Amino acid sequence: MEEKLLEIKDLCVEYKTDEETVYAVNNLSLSINKGETLGLVGETGAGKTTTALSIMKLLPQKIGFIKKGTIYMNGQDIILKSEEEMRKIRGKDISMIFQDPMTSLNPVFTVGEQVAEVIKLHSEGKSKEEIEKRVDELFLMVGLPAERKTEYPHQFSGGMKQRIVIAMALACEPQLLLADEPTTALDVTIQAQVLKMMKDLKDKLNTAMILITHDLGVVAQTCDKVAIMYAGEIIEHGTAEDIFEGNFHHPYTVGLFGSIPDLTTKSKRLHPIEGLMPDPSDLPHGCRFNPRCPKCMDICTKAEPREYISDGHAVKCHLFSDDSSEKKEG
């Protein structure tokens, strides 16, 4: 059995404003082993980014609250850590890459200074030369000439900026990397380059990664395990083989696959999921997906389904309840 790096159990996150309470993450459980890549897939508002921010303990102050649950990192509960302790963990043990490379770099510092800053924060006693040497190493590692470290962010293209952000994230060789839509803002050919580079680096450094994305294509190219989120819950998870080649699926997963414009078929029409994401402050009773589900049954509007697991492939849907003797095709 591989070693568990991160384990989240029954995580509930709420955003409270004067008018309403948004239930962003509901009873989410997931785990990731050392060196593994987990794809966290879902649409806007599914709670993917909130989950990542909870792991970093960076939820917006006074609005976002972890209501329930535990987040174990190397056997220690992150939720119980103080802000002081968290600051030591962030950037060293867990790093995060944000979606927009344009705004995640500070325009008034050179990129070299920004990478050096991260190293300085987490390695006391390193000499200036050592830090500079490490910066050069990191630049080389992400495929940028080290001479360019004296330039400012605006002198780089989007793809190169994202490389610098990745260099910063990997500066202290974290055990876990949270990548929040790291290639969404990039062009396809650049996206392919960056994805390949991330995969190679991850293998080299044996970093575990949670890749947050809405693009099943990106997941198929990079991930070992996949979790699909809908309305703050993981409705299906398993290995990449389970999700992409498995023979039973949550109806939402089926819908997601149907929505993707396919390069291989000649058919014109797409098969979208009808309707819209539910309002996270007013979630439907029973299964969250029932108003949009083509296979909705009576019970779906009344009771919340539990997870049905077969060989590590879990689906949260009444279709697979023990009453229906055989597992249906998704």
Partner 1 sequence: MDTPLIETRNLKKYFKTGRGMLHAVDDVNFKIAKGETLGVVGESGCGKSTLGRVMIRLLDATEGQVLYNGQDIMKYGKSHMNSLRKDLQIIFQDPYASLNPRMSVSEIIAEPIKVCKVLTGKKEIEERVFELMKTVGLAERLVNAYPHELDGGRRQRIGVARALALNPKFIVCDEPVSALDVSIQAQILNLMMDLQEELGLTYMFITHDLSVVKHISSEIAVMYLGQCVEKAPVDELFDNPVHPYTQALLKAIPVPNLKSRNMQNILSGEVTSPIDPKPGCRFAARCPHASSECTHGELQLNEISPNHFVSCAKFGK
Cα–Cα–Cα angle for 119, 123, 128, rounded to 5 degrees: 65
Q: Does 127 bind partner 1 (CB under 8 A)?
A: no
Q: Cα–chain-centroid distance for residue 320?
A: 27
Cross-sheet strand order for the sheet of 21-33: 21-33, 4-16, 64-73, 76-77
Looking at the Cβ atoms of 127 and 267, the one nearer to partner 1 is: 267
Measured distance CA(162)–CA(237) in Å, rounded: 28
Q: Does 140 bind partner 1 (CB under 8 A)?
A: no
Q: Does 17 bind partner 1 (CB under 8 A)?
A: no
Looking at the Cβ atoms of 150 and 157, the one nearer to partner 1 is: 157
# residues near partner 1 by CB under 8 A: 47
* Smallest gap from residue 103 Cβ to partner 1 (A): 16
Looking at the Cβ atoms of 123 and 221, the one nearer to partner 1 is: 221
Residues 223-282 touching partner 1, rule: CB under 8 A, are 240-241, 244-245, 255-263, 266, 268-274, 276-277
Q: Does 306 bind partner 1 (CB under 8 A)?
A: no
Residues 148-187 touching partner 1, rule: CB under 8 A, are 157-160, 187
Looking at the Cβ atoms of 141 and 240, the one nearer to partner 1 is: 240
Query: In Å, what is the CA distance from 309 to each residue of 18, 219, 271, 317?
Result: 40, 22, 27, 11
Looking at the Cβ atoms of 194 and 234, the one nearer to partner 1 is: 194
Q: Cα–chain-centroid distance for residue 204?
A: 20
Q: Is 322 helix (H, G, I), strand (E, B) or coil?
A: coil
Using alpha carbons, select from 225, 220, 227 the residue that is nearest to residue 25: 227
DSSP secondary-structure letter at 90?
Answer: B
Q: Does 189 bind partner 1 (CB under 8 A)?
A: yes
Dmax (CA) for the chain in angstroms is: 68
Q: Does 192 bind partner 1 (CB under 8 A)?
A: yes
> In what helix (H) or strand (E) does residue 242 lie, and over which residues does it extend?
helix 240-245
Residues that bind partner 1 (CB under 8 A): 43-44, 157-160, 187-193, 195-196, 199, 214-221, 240-241, 244-245, 255-263, 266, 268-274, 276-277
